[in-house]
Amino acid sequence: MVARELLHELGEALLPQRCIACGRFGASLHRACLEVLPAAGSPRCTRCWAPGPGSPCAACLADPPPFEGLRAPYRFAGVARRALLEAKFRGISAHLDPLGDAAAEVVPRRWPIDAVTPIPLHGSRRRRRGFNQSELIASRVAAALGLPLHADLLRRVRATGPQTALGRDRRASNVAGAFAAGGPPPAGVLLVDDVSTTGATLAAAARTLLEGGARRVYALAVARED
């Protein structure tokens, strides 16, 4: 796995990069081009980040998610969607650095966070891809916030199919039992993923952290699918 990751990094360093947003050479995603990505906008529920008035929203009042709050700077559409899919399915991870920095900017400073941890990939998928996109994003977030990155708080103990192809109900069952504790978590954890759709993956991982001893879990994604 280490050799594959090194080859991946070497390939990205040697190949000329063209911005996914403007098409100019120099970077895979210019920081100035982040402004053209579809912003999440407002109003939104501060608990689940669903669009619409009322916070918490009716769904969170009826069935609160295990995380205290969720934030994402972008909607899962347009250039944001393309950048994340290229990272996930084509191995183009250079997009993730500026996206991780942008995600860090929307984290409320009032959240009592002690460490940052990513949604883990199953070992077989990580070996195929060569990296965990959520861990790369989480690394940028942790650095921007001045917090430690604890990438081993969770383990993916069951391989799951892609969430994007499933309906809301099946997404929850798809990730049930997929995570296990990797080590004792601190009191406040920021859980990072690339995309939040129904929030099922973040919820399953947050429950595992809480069962392992965390007192509060907050969630962050680059984009949310509305």
Indicate the number of domains in the chain. Answer: 1
Residue 110 lies in a domain: yes
Residue 116 lies in a domain: yes
Residue 30 lies in a domain: no
Residue 57 lies in a domain: yes
Q: With a cut of 70, say whether residue 27 has pLDDT above it.
A: yes
Q: What is the CATH number of the domain that holds 74?
A: 3.40.50
- Compute the radius of gyration of the chain from its Cα atoms: 17
Model confidence band, residue 16 (pLDDT cutoffs 50, 70, 90):
low
Query: Which residue segment(s) compose the domain that 207 sits in?
Result: 38-224
Residue 31 lies in a domain: no
Question: Using one digit for the tens of pLDDT, what is the confidence trace for 109-156?
Answer: 999 999 999 999 987 878 888 899 999 999 999 999 999 999 999 999
Residue 84 lies in a domain: yes
Residue 17 lies in a domain: no
Angle at 76 between CA 115 and CA 91, to 5 degrees: 75
Residue 203 lies in a domain: yes
Question: Using one digit for the tens of pLDDT, what is the confidence trace for 45-103?
Answer: 999 999 998 889 999 999 999 999 999 999 999 999 999 999 988 888 899 999 999 99
